Each structure stands twice: as structure tokens, then as C-alpha cells.
């Protein structure tokens, strides 16, 4: 999953802004007590999400895939005054944990956590979004994209995590036999060929796709 050596990763973290204390605590808690802690965004990616949000200054953010809430808190750091972040996850078991850290971070009035099927929930949301972060079931990335592209404001950003899929997207055997690899590769190609957005795939952690919504068609 990590393409940088451990030494380079550590160097990058050392020369990036530190995690806020609440995120350091959430990072430790997730690795100690929650299954699949590699799903956590972590220090470097978290500071990237925070920086992008602060530069973009969104009024509204949609996150698909909450996990323990680390990335939601990072993204909320850049919300405009009165802004709102909606984060959706299918797992109700982590809801109390998520909201306890959201409250500790001081974002209980800015972050709304919804439990359920994101595909169904997004279809009911009436608002548009200035920033969308997709970090959920990889097989549904294209489906989520189709749902949110017309809800993304002109000049809005879409971010999608894990789009290098541990390097499998350039492995011929994986591309030939592994369904998830095929779907992630198809998603990357879909965005690259969509005239509605300008995109860039960054080799950050396990790959981050960034798309900028062009002006109205």
C-alpha cells in the first residue's frame, strides 16, 4: 500500500505540519482498538486533506466512507463559517466513536454523520457540494461518481482514495483477473476521459485522484 520507504515516509511527516492533538489521539486509538487500521488516512494524507480544504474553503463537503472519522475532521478544518460536512458510512458500530472524536475536535455542529447505504442516501440529498471525498467500497467508485458529479459545484473538487490499489493497477495479472483492480482502473480512466472535469492522479499513499469540476456545461 505504501510506495515510499518507511524512512522517506517518516521524513515527509517530520517536515509537514504536525497532527492536531485530537487526531494524534484518534490515530493511536484506531491502531490499538479498531479492525483494519490501515484504512485510516493518517498523518501525511490527513494534512493533505486539511490543506486542500483550507485552500478551497468549501461551504459544503460530502464524504463517502467515514471509518473512525479522521479524514472528516481533517476536511472540516477548511470549512467556511457556517459550513457543513456530511459523512456517510454503512457501519453503525463505529458511530459513537466517530462522534466522540468529532465533539472533542469541536466540530459537532459542522459534521453530520449518517449511517446507511451511501448510494441510496446521496440520491436523497438536495444540496450541492464544493468538495467530495470518496473513500468507501472500491467496487462502487464509478457508481458514486455518477451520483455526485452533477451535485458538484462548478469549480468544486472531487477526491478519491486508493486509486493505485497497492500498485495492482499496473500489474497485468491483477488487471486480467482481479475484479476490484479492473473497477479501480476503469474509474481512473472514466475521470481522465470525462470532459466535465480536469483531473490529476497523485501518488500519495495508495493513490489520490483529484478532479476539478469545470464550469457549467
Residue range 18-30, pLDDT digits in tens: 999 999 999 999 9
pLDDT tens digit sequence for 30-84: 999 999 998 999 999 999 999 999 999 999 999 999 999 999 999 999 999 999 9
pLDDT tens digit sequence for 167-179: 999 999 999 999 9
Domains of the chain: 6-213 (3.40.50.150)
N-term to C-term CA, the chain:
37
Confidence of residue 4 (pLDDT cuts 50, 70, 90): confident
Q: Which of 139, 161, 140, 167 is nearest to 38 (CA)?
A: 161
pTM: 0.95
Per the rule left: phi > 0, alpha: psi between -120 and 50, beta: everything else, 106 is: left
Amino acid at each position: 500500500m505504501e510506495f515510499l520507504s518507511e524512512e522517506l515516509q517518516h521524513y515527509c511527516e517530520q517536515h509537514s505540519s504536525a497532527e492536531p492533538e485530537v487526531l494524534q489521539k484518534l490515530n493511536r486509538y484506531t491502531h490499538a482498538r479498531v479492525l483494519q487500521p490501515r484504512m485510516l488516512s493518517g498523518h501525511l494524507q490527513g494534512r493533505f486533506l486539511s490543506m486542500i480544504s483550507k485552500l478551497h474553503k468549501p461551504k459544503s463537503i460530502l464524504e463517502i466512507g467515514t471509518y473512525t472519522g479522521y479524514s472528516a475532521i481533517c476536511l472540516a478544518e477548511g470549512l467556511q463559517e457556517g459550513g457543513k460536512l456530511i459523512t456517510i458510512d454503512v457501519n453503525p458500530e463505529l458511530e459513537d466513536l466517530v462522534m466522540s472524536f468529532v465533539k472533542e475536535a469541536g466540530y459537532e455542529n459542522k459534521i453530520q454523520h449518517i449511517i446507511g447505504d451511501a448510494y441510496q442516501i446521496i440520491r436523497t440529498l438536495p444540496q450541492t457540494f464544493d468538495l467530495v471525498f470518496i473513500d468507501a467500497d472500491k467496487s462502487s467508485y464509478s457508481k458514486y461518481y455518477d451520483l455526485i458529479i452533477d451535485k458538484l459545484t462548478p469549480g468544486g473538487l472531487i477526491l478519491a482514495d486508493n486509486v493505485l490499489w497497492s500498485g495492482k493497477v499496473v500489474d497485468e495479472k491483477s488487471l486480467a483477473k482481479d475484479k476490484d483492480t479492473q473497477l479501480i482502473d476503469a474509474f481512473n480512466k472514466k475521470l481522465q476521459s470525462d470532459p466535465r472535469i480536469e483531473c490529476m492522479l497523485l501518488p500519495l499513499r495508495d493513490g489520490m485522484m483529484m478532479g476539478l469540476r469545470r464550469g457549467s456545461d
